Structure 1
Amino acid sequence: MSIVVAGAPVSFGVFELTPTSGDLVLPTADEVVAVLERTGYSGVDLGPVGFLGRGQELRERLDRHGLELAGGWIDLPFSDDAAFARALPSLDDALDVFSEVLEAAPSKLPLPTLADSGDAIRKANPRGGAGHGLDEAGWDRFAKNLATAAARVRARGLEPTFHHHACTFVETPHEIDAYLDASDVGLTFDTGHMLIGGGDPLEAWRRWRDRINHLHIKDVHTAVLADVLAEGGGMIDVWSSGSFVPLGEGDLDVEAMMSEVVDSGFDGWLVIEQDVYPQPGDDPARLERDHRVNREALRRWL
């Protein structure tokens, strides 16, 4: 068994939906990787394509800080044929970055992390999209297009993984079952999004363990989350509410979850995430404190 712990730019407020207000002060790529090095991480997720650099710049940045690339988010509209075709260049662009990292001969290969884009209704309605989901024809399109994307990943010598995620068509336990029936791609298991989607992380881990090839660990204040959902909030509201908290400060049973992960023989990347939606006046020092808390929370096992 070989579990390697990584961090992620999203835990610093840097991700595809980061607001562009001029009042925000966001960390640079060098500041992100320096914090991860100081707080004991061995890898980092890609974040928005280009944030950590590309090619030699990316390889040298990772090498300076003793980090390897764990994975990286690539969302695609799998159930919409025309939109999927238009989005394929973005997949190829991200895969170019992954391919460039392989030149450094990493000890553990990164996993391009595919996800569904959802639609406007799902984006506005966490936990099942107000009953708005894929019909049989939609799942057929989903499966066909996911197979196309997976083939592109595998042609680069990499193995894909698929991230269930709030406000997409693969969010609830029922939808994850449907996805697993429709594809041979492994599952990125995310404890936080499992809680948002209405599932029990420990039960779900046991249920899908044989298909899980990537792990995201995050903690959630479920009472805060419930308030957001009760008020009709979308995913931006969930992020902005502070629902995601340092490990051990929310409602994830970290001890039971990590004991189960280790005892199950999981072998792969474990990415610690604490999704942050940045706002003016954020304390930069808190990010480093939270990263240290999150890493130390898993020292008993890793």
Structure 2
Amino acid sequence: MKARLGMSPIAWWNDDLVELSEDVSLEECLRQSRSAGFTGMEMGRRFPRDPEIMLPILREADVTLCGGWFSGTLVDEEMAVNKDRIQPMIDLFKAVNAPCIVYGEVGRSIQGDRSKPLATKPKLSDDEMKAYARRLTEFGEWCAGQGMPLSYHHHMAAVVETEPELDTFMRHSGSGIPLLLDAGHLAFAGGDVLRAIDKHHARINHVHVKDVRMDVIRSLDRSRQSFLDAVALGAFTVPGDGSLDFGAIVKRLADYGYDGWFVVEAEQDPGRSPPLKMAQIGHKELMRVLTEAGYTVETQGFRLA
């Protein structure tokens, strides 16, 4: 089995809490992550949206674009609205040979609102969840038909946050909407990561290896503190620096034959957690657990085929 290692630029620049950002260029961000051993980077706000500009930057850095977030609103808005908004991203991702677009639901979400406590997260009724799951399946099938698969990101403070919500979403959706497994978000929500892999492995096409600091999470007052408060307090970190057993998580994925990207996505304060140092810690830990699980880690970076 082969594994590819990527990072998210959220370690360098946070899109929701701009104050948690280093004043570094895209080129420097890519240089640091590549020097730590990562061959991929997900898209962030400082990436150009023109493939003619992006491709030379990726080629020079020897890095592949390994994904990127799309703020979906299918819980509330029409399919056509979301198709119109995602089409330029599909065109871009196809041009640079990215593996998938990460679908994150922001409709009704409080993930980006620091004034909304975690306890006020949106909840869908059974009928709403069924209808939502069907819409996502249809949308995922349409995107795949355009040549770019999606990967559905369950997320803290969104309509699919907890393990039961994820189970219900997966039960009522179809194979047309693959799953992004995010270990950190599921653990933060009180879920069992290994159990989720057992139940949903057939649909997993992308993995975020986000670690958590459970002492920070346990200390939160969810009736008063928000998701962004948790981020600022250091709830997330890289593998090897947190509470999760990534040896067990990676082994379970290997048992089911997962073959693809493992992406470190750990939003932190770069002043307290220097991104290059954290990238090096995460890469070292992932190399250890991936090798133990029988993976061969690919070292080629930039590629168009």
- Tell me, yes or no, whether TM beats 0.5: yes
Equivalent residue letter for 1:135: S
Residue 256 (structure 2) pairs with residue 264 (structure 1):
yes
Residue 153 (structure 2) pairs with residue 163 (structure 1):
yes
The corresponding residue for 1:90 is 85
Partner residue of 1:142 out of 109, 132, 141: 132
The corresponding residue for 2:41 is 44
My pick for the range that moved more, 6-15 or 130-139, is 130-139
Superposed displacement of residue 192, structure 1: 0.4
Are the counterparts in 2 of residues 12 and 287 from structure 1 also a CA contact under 8 Å?
yes
The corresponding residue for 2:237 is 245
Are the counterparts in 1 of residues 206 and 262 from structure 2 also a CA contact under 8 Å?
yes
Superposed displacement of residue 101, structure 1: 0.9
Superposed displacement of residue 216, structure 1: 0.4
- For 1:259, what is the secondary structure of its paired residue? helix
TM-score computed with the length of structure 1 as normaliser? 0.85
Residue 53 (structure 2) pairs with residue 57 (structure 1):
yes
Are the counterparts in 2 of residues 118 and 167 from structure 1 also a CA contact under 8 Å?
no
Are the counterparts in 1 of residues 74 and 82 from structure 2 also a CA contact under 8 Å?
no
Equivalent residue letter for 1:269: W
Alignment of 1:204-283 (within 5 A): 204-230=196-222, 232-277=224-269, 282=271
Are the counterparts in 2 of residues 112 and 153 from structure 1 also a CA contact under 8 Å?
no
- For 1:189, what is the secondary structure of its paired residue? strand
Inter-CA distance 299–53: structure 2 relative to 1 (3 Å threshold): same
CA RMSD of aligned residues (A): 2.4
Provide structure 1 residue ranges, at least 5 long, that are not aligned to the other structure: 103-108
- For 1:119, what is the secondary structure of its paired residue? coil
Distance 1:26 1:92 in 2: 30
Partner residue of 2:32 out of 19, 31, 35: 35
Partner residue of 1:79 out of 75, 79, 87: 75
- For 1:81, what is the secondary structure of its paired residue? coil
Residue 283 (structure 2) pairs with residue 295 (structure 1):
yes
Residue 104 (structure 2) pairs with residue 115 (structure 1):
yes
Greater RCO, 1 or 2 (C-alpha within 8 Å, sep 6+): 2
Distance 1:173 1:219 in 2: 17
Distance 2:203 2:103 in 1: 15
The corresponding residue for 1:70 is 66
Provide structure 2 residue ranges, at least 5 long, that are not aligned to the other structure: 291-296, 298-305
Inter-CA distance 125–198: structure 2 relative to 1 (3 Å threshold): farther
Are the counterparts in 1 of residues 110 and 158 from structure 2 also a CA contact under 8 Å?
no
Residue 180 (structure 2) pairs with residue 192 (structure 1):
no
* Structure 1 outlier segments of 4+, above 6 Å: none
TM-score computed with the length of structure 2 as normaliser? 0.84
- For 1:174, what is the secondary structure of its paired residue? helix
Equivalent residue letter for 2:209: I
Distance 1:57 1:181 in 2: 41
Equivalent residue letter for 2:52: Q
Are the counterparts in 1 of residues 156 and 188 from structure 2 also a CA contact under 8 Å?
yes
Inter-CA distance 289–121: structure 2 relative to 1 (3 Å threshold): closer
Superposed displacement of residue 27, structure 1: 1.9
Deviations 1:82-120 (A, max 9, x none): 5x6544432122222212213xxxxxx511111211425
- For 2:205, what is the secondary structure of its paired residue? strand
Superposed displacement of residue 246, structure 1: 3.0
Are the counterparts in 2 of residues 13 and 276 from structure 1 also a CA contact under 8 Å?
no
Equivalent residue letter for 2:140: A
The corresponding residue for 1:106 is none
State the identity %: 24
Distance 1:134 1:255 in 2: 34
Are the counterparts in 2 of residues 221 and 251 from structure 1 also a CA contact under 8 Å?
yes
Superposed displacement of residue 10, structure 1: 1.1
Inter-CA distance 25–10: structure 2 relative to 1 (3 Å threshold): closer
The corresponding residue for 2:165 is 175
- For 1:233, what is the secondary structure of its paired residue? coil
